[in-house]
């Protein structure tokens, strides 16, 4: 039987998804399942790894049963995932020894301070392309080994395994036969040398992490193994961090091409080709993908809270009933009347890198109302993106021609227009919005010969809507200055409350 489809597994921060693509890159069918977010302490975020696996398996099986396709028609599975989120499990039983520590979790800020106090920043930057921050996996693994009873002894005896979510899914899909990750995920651990493409002994020693825990690091497009859990035997042909997969799905194959994904957070990546570009403004140097025997690099700006501020308006403040309602509410007012929301709920990423910043609403007056706050929350997403673009244009030495956008929040036309206004660059929304899953599908398709090469893939990208600036540059500059002032009030806010000695 001729293979017709690629099945993408997109394991995100808030949902597990499975999407079936045909050869043209059209998403034929998808299933999503939300899972629990755990906040055991202020600033902490956890997921249950077993729930991640069960929801992912359920949606994957449902796609097959509900479409009625034969598994023999699936050329390959591609995996893409929330990055950095850390799972540690027992090699012999496959059981996690703790909840997954999510990328947003700030509990290891104190460990990061200790590394900084030892003067390790330059070394970490040089080897990994990253800053020392609680965002990355390394200090999360160290925390688990330190705090989970018995973990240290088991790790030293070679009984524990670490994985980011891709590794965890591949391990489960292959019944514990395969323990791998890809370059794009390894690059987010703060343990991987992005130049030599090896786990780094010095960093492992600093954090007392035994190398026996770590997965093999492989290209993003390769058959790592097969799964028999879905019926017939299906090759697993790709693994890529979700933001790098979106860069691939947006066909940003040339140096200088940029995409921004508006999901829980916002992640803006520029392809820098075979050249790792280092940054002076808090951008990360990271691996875009390993493909056809070489790696390509990217420059990344990471914003921790984007669409999540809209969830907060809905779930915690009750100001809106649904995420999409934010658009209509924001449009009921002409501006925010001087109100700024800074959603530094889990600190600030690029370009500020402040683990101790916390959120705020400033500029309130007697005339401030619900619509002003909703509008200010949406505008904050665009301002944070502007902060990142300004750093990126400076460090890469180029002016963006356009910003390709994707992710759940890009359906908000108000946000997209405001983004174009505040940025003064074209904002282009593609026809196919599921670019993260699509990127993983393309990478898996390349691994098994479903696609011949990237040129074939490039032809499938099509723009849908382009937003351009209508606001005057002067007005745009003026309100952006207000944002910078608002951000200034959030910095270091939680420093006194956090025990930085852990």
Ligand X SMILES: Nc1ncnc2c1ncn2[C@@H]1O[C@H](COP(=O)(O)OP(=O)(O)O)[C@@H](O)[C@H]1O
Return binding residues for ADP: 13, 17, 264, 307, 408, 412
Q: State which of residues 12, 129, 301, 343 lies at the interface with ligand G3P (CB under 6 A).
A: 12
| 16 near ligand G3P, rule: CB under 6 A | no
Q: Which is nearer to ligand X, 151 or 306 (CB)?
A: 306
82 touches ligand G3P by CB under 6 A: yes
264 binds ligand G3P (CB under 6 A): yes
Listing DSSP states for 20-84 in one string gives EEETT--EEEEEEEE---B-SSTT--EE-HHHHHHHHHHHHHHHHHHHT--GGGEEEEEEEE-SS
Query: What is the SS3 assignment for 224?
Result: strand
What count of Cα atoms within 13 Å lies in the side-chain half-sphere of residue 166?
Answer: 35
Q: Retrieve residue 74's tokens.
A: 């699936």
15 binds, among ligand G3P, ligand X, none (CB under 5 to 8 A by kind): ligand X
Q: Quick one: which of 60, 264, 279, 286 contacts ligand X (CB under 6 A)?
A: 264
C-alpha closest to that of 184 among 292, 289, 79: 289
Task: State which of positions 8-27 bind ligand X (CB under 6 A).
Answer: 12-15
The reply on whether position 311 binds ligand X by CB under 6 A is yes
Asked if 323 touches ligand X (CB under 6 A), the answer is: yes
Judged by CB under 6 A, does residue 13 bind ligand G3P?
Answer: yes
User: Using CB distances below 5 to 8 A depending on partner kind, what does residue 345 bind out of ligand G3P, ligand X, none?
Assistant: none
- Cis peptide bond prior to 302, omega within 30° of 0: no
User: H or E stretch including 394?
Assistant: helix 370-396
* Min dist. Cβ of residue 412 to ligand X (A): 3
Query: Taking the complex as a whole, how short is the minimal distance between the CB of residue 16 and ligand X, in angstroms?
Result: 10
Residue with tokens 């006194």: 496
Find the shortest distance in angstroms from Cβ 19 to ligand G3P: 14
Q: Where are the beta strands (DSSP E) in 322-430?
A: 340-342, 360-362, 402-406, 426-430
- Residues 98-157 close enough to bind ligand G3P by CB under 6 A: 103
Q: 85: closest CA among 125, 130, 45, 34?
A: 45
Q: Which residues are annotated as a binding site for glycerol?
A: 83-84, 135, 242-243
Instruction: Answer with the entry of ligand X, ligand G3P, none that 243 interacts with (C-beta below 5 to 8 A by kind).
Output: ligand G3P
Among 49, 163, 307, 343, indicate the residue that binds ligand X (CB under 6 A).
307
8 Å CB contact between 283 and 392: yes
Q: Per CB under 6 A, which region of 69-77, 93-101, 246-254, 323-331 contacts ligand X? A: 323-331
- Check binding of 249 to ligand X (CB under 6 A): no
- Is the Cβ of residue 267 or residue 356 nearer to ligand G3P in the bound state? 267
340 near 380, Cβ under 8 Å?
Answer: yes
Residue 290 neighbours by CB distance under 10 Å = 24
Rounded Cα–Cα distance for residues 482 and 340 (Å): 8
Burial of 152 (0-12, 13-18, 19+ CB in 10 A): middle
Q: Which residue is nearest to ligand X (CB)?
A: 408
* Shortest distance (Å) from residue 15 CB to ligand X: 5
Q: How many residues of this chain interact with ligand X, rule: CB under 6 A?
A: 19
Report the residue from 25, 129, 265, 351 that binds ligand G3P according to the rule CB under 6 A.
265
Q: Please name the residue that has the structure tokens 């790792």.
A: 276
Q: Which structure tokens are listed for 158?
A: 């070679």
State the Cα–Cα distance between residues 169 and 34, nearest whole angstrom.
Answer: 17
How far is 296 from 294, CA to CA, in rounded Å?
A: 7
Asked whether the beta carbons of 83 and 164 are under 8 A apart, the reply is yes
* 400 to 439: interface string for ligand X, x by CB under 6 A: -------xxx-xx---------------------------
Contacts with ligand G3P, residue ranges (CB under 6 A): 12-13, 82-84, 103, 241-243, 263-265, 267
What residue ranges bind ligand X (CB under 6 A)? Answer: 12-15, 263-264, 307-308, 310-311, 323-324, 326-327, 407-409, 411-412
């Amino acid at each position: 039987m001729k293979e017709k489809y690629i099945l993408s597994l997109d394991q995100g921060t808030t949902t597990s998804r499975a999407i079936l693509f045909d050869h043209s890159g059209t998403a034929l069918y998808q299933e999503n399942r939300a899972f629990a977010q755990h906040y055991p302490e202020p600033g902490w975020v956890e997921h249950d790894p077993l729930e991640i696996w069960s929801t992912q398996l359920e949606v994957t099986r449902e796609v097959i049963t509900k479409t009625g396709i034969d598994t023999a028609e699936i050329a390959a599975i591609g995996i893409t995932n929330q990055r950095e989120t850390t799972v540690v499990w027992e090699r012999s039983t496959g059981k996690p020894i703790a909840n997954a520590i999510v990328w947003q979790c700030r509990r290891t800020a104190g460990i990061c301070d200790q590394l900084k106090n030892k003067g390790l920043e330059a070394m970490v930057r040089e080897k990994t392309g990253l800053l020392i921050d609680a965002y990355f996996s390394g200090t999360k693994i160290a925390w688990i080994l330190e705090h989970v009873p018995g973990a240290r002894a088991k790790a030293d005896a070679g009984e524990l395994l670490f994985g980011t979510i891709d590794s965890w899914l591949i391990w489960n899909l292959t019944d514990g036969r395969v323990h791998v990750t890809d370059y794009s995920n390894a690059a987010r651990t703060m343990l991987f040398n992005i130049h030599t493409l090896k786990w780094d002994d010095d960093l492992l020693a600093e954090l007392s992490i035994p190398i026996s825990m770590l997965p093999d690091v492989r290209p993003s497009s390769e058959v790592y193994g097969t799964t028999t859990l879905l019926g017939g035997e299906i090759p697993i042909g790709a693994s890529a961090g979700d933001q790098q997969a979106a860069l691939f799905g947006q066909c940003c194959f040339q140096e200088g091409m940029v995409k921004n994904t508006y999901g829980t957070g916002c992640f803006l990546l520029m392809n820098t080709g075979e050249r790792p570009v280092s940054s002076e403004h808090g951008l990360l140097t990271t691996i875009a993908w390993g493909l056809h025997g070489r790696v390509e690099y990217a420059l990344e700006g990471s914003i921790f809270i984007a669409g999540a501020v809209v969830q907060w308006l809905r779930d915690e403040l009750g100001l809106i009933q649904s995420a999409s309602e934010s658009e209509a509410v924001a449009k009921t007012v002409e501006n925010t009347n001087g109100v700024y929301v800074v959603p530094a709920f889990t600190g600030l990423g690029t370009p500020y890198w402040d683990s101790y910043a916390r959120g705020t609403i400033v500029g309130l007056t007697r005339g401030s109302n619900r619509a002003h706050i909703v509008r200010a929350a949406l505008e904050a997403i665009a301002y944070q993106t502007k902060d990142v673009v300004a750093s990126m244009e400076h460090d890469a030495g180029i002016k963006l021609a356009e910003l390709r956008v994707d992710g759940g929040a890009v359906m908000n036309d108000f946000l997209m227009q405001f983004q174009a206004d505040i940025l003064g660059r074209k904002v282009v929304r593609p026809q196919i919005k599921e670019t993260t899953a699509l990127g993983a599908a393309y990478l898996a398709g390349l691994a098994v010969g479903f696609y011949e090469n990237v040129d074939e893939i490039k032809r499938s990208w099509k723009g849908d809507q382009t937003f351009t600036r209508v606001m005057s540059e002067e007005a745009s500059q003026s309100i952006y200055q207000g944002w910078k002032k608002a951000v200034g009030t959030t910095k270091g806010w939680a420093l006194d409350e956090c025990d930085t000695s852990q």
